[in-house]
């Protein structure tokens, strides 16, 4: 949670200080504890930190770039963000849970968060990237492994791994280091695999929705989450035909309109389960699912467990 203004200790170039929780929450955006980063490098481990704010206020942050590390960001929530890298707009709009992007060494970044956010930052040295490449492809890379193209990768495997990694904070330090490193390596290896196996999409071959159309479409979805939403209606809100809209929406977000709607309904359901005592059926209907069975099936697909088990696990954690 963000500190109140009068409790802040410093603010450097618009980068706001954050509370530290159990030594794993970043105090400054993309600025982990230096000694922790050094120890991780010396031990041949990845350092994982968390950057989050649930208030949803406008927040502007700046970072000059890491000297030696790739910074892998994995999104855990639907987040509205404008991200600039190398003085160019890299992201502008809604980023889905499970979306991952990379800032290579020496690359400055500037971000404006326009909603609540929860992200993991993984700091990967060149040595570890080379190890991951060799593990994936069975050979060493000819030269340094560099993930420098402006890409956003959405992958269900990365999303599931990130969920597990985010739930790791209750572990004691020794176990946490071993656990977080192994899961983080799996995430980085998956990114390296997709980076080098799947060529970057040629933007001229398929253009995504213009930002204003995407905002109209996602705004329409937000307003009608509890109702039946038809593709024709979303497309009409963006001023496009159904066929053109679906293709451009997928390019812009990485998922189909149908999957986007399902994911937003799951996020709404999570909020309702945390903030009310409603049963599973009531929550399913409030979130626009046609039945309790459909809700459980979709929730389990994205979260890896049933709604009841997910809710029970969070309540048990809060009681501890």
Residue 262 resides in a domain: yes
Give the model's pLDDT for residue 312: 83
Q: At residue 1, does pLDDT exceed 90?
A: no
36 shares its domain with 68: yes
Give the pLDDT band (50/70/90) at residue 7: very low
166 shares its domain with 260: no
Tens-digit pLDDT profile for residues 54-79: 887 899 999 999 999 999 999 998 88
Q: At what angle do helices 173-197 and 126-137 cross, to 10 degrees?
A: 60
247's enclosing H/E stretch is: helix 242-253
Give the pLDDT band (50/70/90) at residue 5: very low
Tens-digit pLDDT profile for residues 114-131: 888 999 999 999 999 999
- First-to-final CA distance of the chain: 20
Give the model's pLDDT for residue 10: 33
Contact by Cβ (8 Å): 251, 208: yes
139 shares its domain with 11: yes
Tens-digit pLDDT profile for residues 95-110: 888 899 999 999 999 9
User: What is the C-alpha to C-alpha distance for residues 263 and 124, in angstroms, rounded to an integer?
Assistant: 29
Residue 204 resides in a domain: no
Q: At residue 244, does pLDDT exceed 80?
A: yes
134 shares its domain with 244: no
Across 248-257, b (16+ Cβ under 10 Å) vs e yields: bbbebbbbeb
Residue 266 DSSP code = H
Give the model's pLDDT for residue 199: 64
Instruction: Average the pLDDT over each of 19-23, 86-90, 248-252 and give the range with the smallest value.
Output: 19-23
Give the pLDDT band (50/70/90) at residue 19: very low
- DSSP labels for 65-125? --SS-EEEEEE-S-EEEEEEETTEEEEEEEE-TTEEEEE-TT--EEEEE-S-EEEEEEEE-
Give the model's pLDDT for residue 29: 94
* Mean pLDDT along residues 173-178: 64
Tally of domains within the chain: 3
Q: At what angle do helices 257-275 and 242-253 cross, to 10 degrees?
A: 60
∠ Cα 89 49 28 (to 5°): 60
Other residues' Cβ atoms within 10 Å of the Cβ of residue 167: 12
Residue 288: which region, alpha, beta or left (left: phi > 0; alpha: psi -120 to 50)?
Answer: left
User: What is the C-alpha to C-alpha distance for residues 124 and 190, in angstroms, rounded to an integer?
Assistant: 13
Residue 269 resides in a domain: yes
Give the model's pLDDT for residue 46: 92
Tens-digit pLDDT profile for residues 180-218: 889 999 999 999 999 998 765 544 345 678 888 988 999
C-alpha of 145 from chain center: 23
Give the pLDDT band (50/70/90) at residue 170: very low
Q: Which residue has the tokens 């467990």?
A: 305
User: What is the C-alpha to C-alpha distance for residues 11 and 18, in angstroms, rounded to an integer?
Assistant: 10
Residue 202 resides in a domain: no
CATH code of 320's domain: 1.10.10.60
312 shares its domain with 286: yes
Residue 183 resides in a domain: yes
Residue 151 resides in a domain: yes
- DSSP labels for 117-171? EEEEEEEE-HHHHHHHHHHHHSS--SS-----S--EEE-HHHHHHHHHHHGGGGS
User: The domain containing residue 169 runs over which residues?
Assistant: 5-197
238 shares its domain with 223: yes
21 shares its domain with 126: yes
Residue 232 resides in a domain: yes
Residue 22 φ then ψ, to 5°: 55, 30
The pTM assigned to this predicted structure is 0.76
Give the pLDDT band (50/70/90) at residue 145: very high
Tens-digit pLDDT profile for residues 278-309: 899 999 999 999 999 999 999 988 887 899 98
Residue with the larger pLDDT of the pair 4 and 142: 142
111 shares its domain with 187: yes
181 shares its domain with 229: no
User: What is the C-alpha to C-alpha distance for residues 38 and 292, in angstroms, rounded to an integer?
Assistant: 49
25 three-class SS: strand
Task: Return mean pLDDT, the chain.
Answer: 83
C-alpha of 132 from chain center: 21
Last residue of a domain, one of 162, 177, 197: 197
Last residue of a domain, one of 155, 176, 197: 197
Residue 126 resides in a domain: yes
Contact by Cβ (8 Å): 15, 63: yes
164 shares its domain with 300: no
CATH code of 26's domain: 2.60.120.280
Give the pLDDT band (50/70/90) at residue 175: low
* Mean pLDDT along residues 156-162: 89
149 shares its domain with 180: yes
Residue 246 φ then ψ, to 5°: -60, -45
Give the model's pLDDT for residue 207: 61
Give the model's pLDDT for residue 266: 92
Last residue of a domain, one of 197, 219, 234: 197
64 shares its domain with 172: yes
How large a percentage of the chain has pLDDT more than 90?
48
């Amino acid at each position: 949670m963000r500190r109140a203004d009068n409790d802040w200790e410093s603010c450097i170039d618009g980068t706001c200080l954050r509370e530290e929780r159990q030594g794993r929450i970043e105090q400054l955006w993309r600025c982990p504890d230096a000694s922790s980063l050094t120890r991780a490098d010396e031990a041949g481990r990845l350092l994982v930190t968390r950057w989050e704010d649930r208030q949803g206020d406008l927040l502007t942050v700046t970072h000059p770039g890491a000297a030696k590390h790739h910074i892998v960001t994995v999104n855990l929530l639907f987040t509205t963000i404008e991200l600039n890298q190398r003085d160019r707009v890299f992201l502008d709009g809604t980023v889905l849970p499970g979306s991952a992007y990379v800032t290579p060494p020496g690359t400055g970044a500037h971000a404006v968060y326009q909603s609540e956010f929860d992200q993991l930052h993984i700091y990967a040295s060149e040595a570890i990237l080379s190890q991951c490449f060799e593990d994936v492809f069975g050979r060493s890379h000819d030269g340094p492994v560099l993930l420098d193209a402006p890409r956003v990768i959405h992958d269900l495997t990365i999303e599931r791994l990130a969920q597990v990694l985010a739930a790791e904070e209750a572990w004691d330090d020794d176990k946490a280091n071993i656990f977080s490193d192994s899961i983080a390596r799996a995430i980085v290896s998956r990114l390296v695999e997709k980076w080098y196996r799947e060529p970057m999409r040629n933007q001229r071959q398929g253009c995504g929705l213009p930002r204003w159309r995407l905002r109209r479409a996602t705004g329409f979805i937000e307003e009608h989450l509890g109702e039946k939403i038809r593709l024709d209606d979303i497309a009409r809100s963006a001023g496009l035909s159904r066929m053109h809209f679906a293709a451009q929406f997928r390019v812009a977000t990485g998922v189909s309109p149908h999957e986007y709607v399902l994911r937003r309904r799951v996020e709404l359901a999570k909020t309702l389960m945390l903030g009310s005592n409603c049963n599973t059926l009531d929550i399913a209907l409030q979130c626009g699912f046609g039945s309790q069975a459909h809700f459980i099936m979709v929730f389990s697909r994205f979260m890896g467990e049933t709604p009841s088990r997910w809710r029970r696990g969070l309540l048990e954690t809060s009681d501890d």
